[in-house]
């Protein structure tokens, strides 16, 4: 969590630059608040390190004067037990480099400071983790078993509609919880397509299966709160927009009741959507559009899952694979 800037020994020019950068991220770049806060946290980590490493007050001139050695010392510190980036993991350090580099690039573009060393700093290599989807049978158990852990009928129907939407349309949990009743349309005249606003405020259009409309219609009929067009589609027990933490908690309780692995999360339902479509013959470009990935390389992770399944099938089925050669 980012700390107040007042806790750091910063010159006014740096303090004002950071605040302007954050405002630009949110208003001009249209970054999510979580992304902006993550970048701020990473920049603060560097500034805390410089406080102890070089001493004195950080100014724009000091930041422009940082050497490649200074940046490497910061990363080495971050990887140590004393580093405030707890992970010691390459993924966390790679994200930190991205956040800091973004700030320095913004300083350069706005003419406030230039530092060539930041571009010489190598990003720690990370092994991209493969998505962990559920099976088709497990997905069926999840979307039909919500009444196991929810005693209130309309809440069980809400969870069933939400999980069906995540699995049936490949939405992120934040995307689903940002929907309004008007986005879905009236129950008597359901929309065949849904416009979703994803990361970076990028919009995409996804098709809606009849089963998704059916589950949402059932939930809306039972929900005791208003279904006005601008009202949130998924609401909590008090009628406010459903908190993602609560949705995650309900799925966690459900997976325990169904004795499913800990990898079963709302995001795993999105992974399952992609994996099952790819296994059924969907092409990567279409899958990229449906998922809202800006890069095809992100979507290609799912082909590695399919390759693993193919290899396992081969080893189990081929006569020579079952013999000692």
Active site residue ranges: 172, 199, 267, 270, 293, 302
Which token pair is 229? 């067009």
Which phi and psi (to 5°) does residue 197 adopt? -100, 115
Distance CA 54, CA 266 (A): 44
The first and second tokens of residue 143, run together, are 């979307």
Contact 278, 303 (CB under 8 A): yes
Q: What is the 3-state secondary structure (H, E, C) of 58-88?
A: ECHHHHHCCCHHHHHHHHHHHHCCCCCCCCC
CA gap 121, 51 in Å, rounded: 20
* Half-sphere exposure of residue 274: CA atoms within 13 angstroms, side-chain side: 30
- Paired sense of beta strands 193-197 and 203-207, if any: antiparallel
Take residue 225 and report the two structure tokens written for it.
């709160």
- For residues 94 and 126, the answer to whether their CB atoms sit within 8 Å is yes
CB-based contacts of 171, cutoff 8 Å, min separation 6: 165, 196, 206, 270
Which residues are within 8 A (CB) of 143 and not within 5 positions of it... i.e. 6 or more apart? 160, 163, 164, 167, 215
Q: How far is CA 280 from CA 64, 136, 275, 287, in A?
A: 53, 12, 9, 12
3-state helix, strand, coil in the chain (%, to 5): 60, 5, 35
């Amino acid at each position: 969590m980012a700390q107040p800037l007042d806790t750091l020994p910063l010159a006014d020019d740096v303090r004002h630059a950071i605040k302007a950068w954050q405002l630009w991220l949110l208003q001009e770049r249209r970054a999510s608040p979580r992304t902006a806060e993550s970048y701020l946290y990473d920049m603060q980590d560097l500034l805390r390190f410089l406080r102890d490493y070089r001493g004195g007050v950080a100014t724009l001139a000091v930041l422009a004067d940082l050497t490649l050695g200074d940046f490497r010392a910061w990363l080495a510190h971050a990887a140590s037990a004393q580093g405030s980036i707890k992970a010691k993991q390459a993924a966390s350090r790679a994200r930190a480099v991205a956040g800091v580099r973004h700030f320095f690039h913004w300083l350069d573009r706005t003419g406030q400071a230039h530092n060539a060393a930041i571009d010489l700093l190598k990003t720690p290599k990370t092994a991209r983790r493969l998505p962990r989807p559920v099976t088709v049978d497990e997905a069926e158990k999840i979307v039909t078993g919500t009444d196991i852990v929810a005693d209130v009928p309309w809440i069980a129907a809400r969870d069933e509609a939400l999980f069906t939407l995540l699995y049936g349309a490949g939405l992120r949990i934040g995307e689903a919880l940002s929907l309004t009743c008007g986005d879905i349309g009236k129950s008597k005249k359901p929309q065949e397509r849904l416009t979703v606003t994803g990361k970076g405020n990028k919009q995409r259009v996804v098709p809606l299966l009849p089963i998704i409309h059916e589950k949402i219609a059932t939930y809306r009929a039972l929900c005791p709160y208003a279904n006005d067009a601008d009202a949130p589609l998924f609401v909590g027990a008090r009628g406010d927009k459903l908190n993602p933490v609560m949705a995650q908690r309900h799925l966690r309780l459900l997976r325990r009741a169904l004795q499913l692995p800990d990898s079963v999360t709302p995001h795993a339902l999105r992974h399952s959507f992609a994996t099952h479509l790819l296994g059924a013959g969907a092409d990567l470009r279409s899958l990229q559009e449906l998922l809202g990935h800006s890069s095809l390389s992100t979507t290609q992770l799912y082909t590695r899952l399919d390759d693993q399944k193919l290899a396992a099938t081969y080893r189990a089925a081929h006569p020579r694979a079952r013999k000692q050669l």
